Amino acid sequence: MQNINFKLVIFSSVLIVVIALVGACSSDSSSNVVQPNQLTITSGVDGAEFAFDPATIEVGVSETIKIVFDNKGTIAHDFEVPDLEVVIATTNAGNTGEVTLVAPSVPGTYDFICSIPGHKEAGMVGKLIVK
Ligand SMILES: [Cu+2]
C-alpha cells in the first residue's frame, strides 16, 4: 500500500512537470508574434524645450514601427506626421505617448511636427525619411 502511494506521488510530480513544460512551450509560441521595431523621440533634451531629438528619423519602406514620444520638457507637446495622419496626442511634461506607424511603400521624406500653435515655428519640426 505504501509503495502504491509512493508511485502515485512520483506520477503526480511528473505530471505537474509535464504540464509546466507544456505551458512554457505555449507561452514561447505566442512570443513568436513579430513585434514592430521601436523608436523613441524625445523633446526637452538639455533644456531644448522646442526641439525633437533625434530631429531626423529613418524607416524602411512599408516598415511597421512603434514610435514613442517622450516629453522630457516642462510643457505639453504632441507628435504628428501630418502627411501620414500619424498622431500622438498632446503629451504632458514628463509623460510618454506612442503610436504605431506603417511607412508608405514608396521612399519619401515627411515632416514631423508638434502641432501646438507656435511650437513648429519655434523649432519643433523634424524629418521622417522613408527609404
Ligand atoms: Cu510642442
**How far is residue 76's CA from residue 51's CA, in Å, rounded to a whole number?**
13
What pLDDT was estimated at residue 33? 72
CB neighbour list of residue 73: distance below 8 Å, 6 or more residues apart: 43, 44, 49, 93
Separation of CA 91 and ligand 1 centre (Å): 9
Separation of CA 23 and ligand 1 centre (Å): 46
Separation of CA 65 and ligand 1 centre (Å): 22
What pLDDT was estimated at residue 104? 98
How many of the other CB atoms lie within 10 Å of CB of 21?
10
Residue pLDDT, tens place only, 81-106: 999 999 999 999 999 999 999 999 99
Residue pLDDT, tens place only, 41-54: 999 999 999 999 99
Domains of the chain: 2-31 (no CATH), 32-130 (2.60.40.420)
The amino acid at 95: N
Separation of CA 59 and ligand 1 centre (Å): 23
